[in-house]
């Protein structure tokens, strides 16, 4: 049991090291420096999302069938290969292969890490602590991502190679930490089945549980809309005349507030119960609509608040999903939700860009806020059905 308990502690450190990515804020500039034009950079990003969508469910199945620890180790090896290729590639196709490995590393870790933590807590009889633990993990993710992006931008002023070299060191350290994980016995006792049977059982589970099917769509819509604000925020503030250093500071503040939101998630769930998601999502929508009337300084405040509120929802989404799915299909179903998020991004992200070109990002943010209000209203009506049907008013039920 002590080795299983160590999983939680090791995962805190592993997550912090893994997310200290010095390249997240400079990869577009680096590719341009290496001779890629904007069309090629956009195509490379498209290759990443397409790979991610195709690999998401198969990698979740790999985690369920071969083991979470092995899959996490493979994710760090894939990330290492991707970074090495970014440094050594001499043309578009070399970078494309790097993006494929990068997407694979993301997919291999997305369901397996979450499943390992939840099943470790389940084996310890402490699964009710998952939202608290996941909130801490999201705090670590947000803060280290913000610090990594900020430091990476500063290091890139001297040398892109320096940023990528440090990223390689962090990836190797994360790989060594991943080797220290212990596979949960809950997973080890499950009967091994073929990939075909595993997928069949997973689809049957989704069809049989309408609440699970609802959550697989509902949260990805909310998180995708919020993510679009985050990704287009850099361009928005650049158009507002904010310098690159100023934008880096804004995103660092966003990460800090997001870390606070992740820590506050468990507290808010206890206070707001099943209303938590509805209230938080509506507040996100209000912040988006508020961009239309905001001065520059208040737009910064709204942007950071959206980051903090979104971070509140992530542990809740994870806890809701994990309470409804069995251990033997946990990583696969988490991957299904991640794939749903990728699909939402593929649908909404380019459309938002087109609208932004036509009417400006400020109006685009307002329209996204109105879409979110509609989605939350529909989601609330559906969740009331599950509440009345189950007779359970826990946070899991939206």
The percentage of the chain sitting over the pLDDT mark of 70, rounded to a whole number, equals 88
pLDDT at 287 over 90: yes
Q: Is 393 helix (H, G, I), strand (E, B) or coil?
A: coil
Q: Is the pLDDT of residue 81 over 80?
A: yes
Average pLDDT, the chain: 81
Alpha-carbon gap, residue 21 to 170, rounded angstroms? 8
The model's confidence at residue 398, banded by pLDDT at 50, 70 and 90, is very low
Going from the C-alpha of 175 to that of each of 3, 24, 25, 178, 183, the distances in angstroms are 18, 19, 22, 5, 16
pLDDT in the model for residue 155: 82
Domains of the chain: 2-397 (1.20.1250.20)
Reply yes or no on whether the pLDDT at 394 is more than 50.
no
Higher-scoring residue by pLDDT: 22, 171: 171
For residue 195, what pLDDT band results from cuts at 50, 70 and 90? low
pLDDT of 189 reads 45
Please, what's the b/e burial string for 154-176 (b: 16 or more CB within 10 A of its CB; e: otherwise)? Answer: ebbeeebeebbebbbebbebbbe
More confident residue, 349 or 9: 9
Q: What is the CA radius of gyration of the chain?
A: 21
Average pLDDT over residues 33-62: 78
């Amino acid at each position: 049991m002590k080795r299983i308990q160590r999983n939680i502690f090791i995962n805190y450190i592993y997550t912090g090291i893994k997310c200290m990515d010095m390249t997240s804020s400079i990869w577009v500039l680096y590719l341009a420096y290496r001779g890629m034009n904007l069309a090629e950079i956009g195509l490379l990003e498209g290759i990443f999302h397409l790979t991610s969508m195709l690999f998401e469910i198969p990698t979740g199945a790999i985690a369920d069938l071969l083991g979470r620890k092995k899959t996490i180790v493979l994710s760090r090896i894939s990330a290492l290969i991707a970074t090495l290729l970014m440094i050594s590639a001499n043309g578009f196709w070399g970078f494309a292969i790097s993006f494929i490995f990068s997407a694979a590393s993301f997919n291999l870790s997305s369901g397996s890490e979450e499943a390992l933590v939840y099943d470790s807590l389940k084996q310890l009889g402490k699964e009710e602590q998952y939202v608290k633990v996941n909130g801490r993990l999201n705090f670590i993710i947000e803060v280290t991502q913000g610090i990594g992006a900020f430091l990476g931008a500063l290091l890139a002023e001297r040398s892109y190679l320096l940023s990528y070299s440090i990223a390689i060191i962090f990836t190797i350290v994360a790989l060594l930490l991943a080797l220290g994980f212990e596979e949960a016995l809950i997973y080890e006792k499950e009967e091994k089945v073929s990939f075909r049977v595993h997928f069949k059982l997973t689809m049957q589970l989704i069809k049989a549980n309408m609440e699970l099917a609802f959550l697989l769509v509902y949260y990805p819509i909310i998180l995708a809309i919020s993510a679009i604000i985050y990704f287009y925020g850099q361009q928005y503030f650049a158009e507002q005349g904010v310098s690159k250093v100023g934008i880096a500071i804004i995103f660092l503040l966003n990460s800090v507030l997001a870390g606070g939101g992740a820590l506050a998630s468990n507290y808010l769930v206890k206070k707001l119960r099943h209303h938590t998601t509805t209230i938080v999502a509506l507040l996100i929508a209000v912040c988006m609509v508020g961009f239309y009337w905001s001065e520059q300084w208040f737009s910064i405040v709204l942007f950071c608040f959206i980051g903090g509120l979104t971070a509140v929802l992530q542990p809740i989404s994870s806890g809701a999903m994990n309470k409804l799915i069995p251990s033997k299909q946990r990583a696969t179903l988490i991957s299904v939700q991640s794939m749903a998020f990728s699909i939402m991004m593929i649908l909404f992200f380019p459309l938002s860009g087109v609208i932004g070109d036509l009417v400006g990002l400020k109006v685009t943010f307002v329209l996204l806020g109105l879409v979110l209000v509609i989605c939350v209203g529909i989601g609330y009506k559906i969740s009331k059905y599950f509440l009345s049907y189950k007779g359970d008013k826990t946070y899991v039920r939206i």
